[in-house]
Amino acid sequence: MNLQNITITLSETKKEKPQSDQLEFGKVFTDHMFIMDFSTGLGWHDPRIVPYQPITMDPASMIFHYGQSVFEGLKAYQTDDGRVLLFRPEKNFRRLNQSNDRLCIPELDEEFVLEALKKLIEVEREWIPSAEGTSLYIRPFIISTEPFLGVHPSSSYKFMIILSPVGSYYKEGIHPVKIAVESKYVRAVNGGTGTAKTGGNYAASLKAQEVSEKIGYSQVLWLDGVEKKYIEEVGSMNVFFKINGEVITPALNGSILEGVTRTSIIELLKHWNVPVTERKISMDDVRQAYLDGTLEEAFGTGTAAVISPIGEFFWNDEKLVINDGKTGELSKKLFDTLTGIQTGKLADPLGWVVEV
| Site residues (vs ligand COI, CB under 6 A) | 73, 202, 236, 302-304
CB of 295 to ligand COI, least distance (A): 25
Beta bridge mates, 77: 85
- Number of residues that make up the chain: 356
Bridge-based pairing state of the strands 7-8 and 43-51: parallel
Which residue type does 317 have? D
Cα gap 165→232, rounded to integer Å:
30
Nearer to ligand COI by Cβ, of 33 and 257: the residue is 257
Bridge-based pairing state of the strands 219-223 and 231-234: antiparallel
Nearer to ligand COI by Cβ, of 145 and 236: the residue is 236
Longest dimension (CA), the chain: 63
Cα gap 326→268, rounded to integer Å:
23
Find the residue with minimal CB distance to ligand COI.
73
CB of 235 to ligand COI, least distance (A): 7
CB of 33 to ligand COI, least distance (A): 17
Nearer to ligand COI by Cβ, of 218 and 236: the residue is 236
CB of 72 to ligand COI, least distance (A): 7
CB of 255 to ligand COI, least distance (A): 16
Nearer to ligand COI by Cβ, of 108 and 295: the residue is 108
Q: Select from 346, 234, 255 the least CA-distant residue to 300.
A: 234
Nearer to ligand COI by Cβ, of 169 and 314: the residue is 169
CB of 261 to ligand COI, least distance (A): 8
Task: Report the half-sphere exposure of 18 (CA within 13 A, side-chain side).
Answer: 20
Residues 6+ apart with CB under 8 A from 85: 76, 77, 79, 342, 343, 344, 353, 354, 355, 356
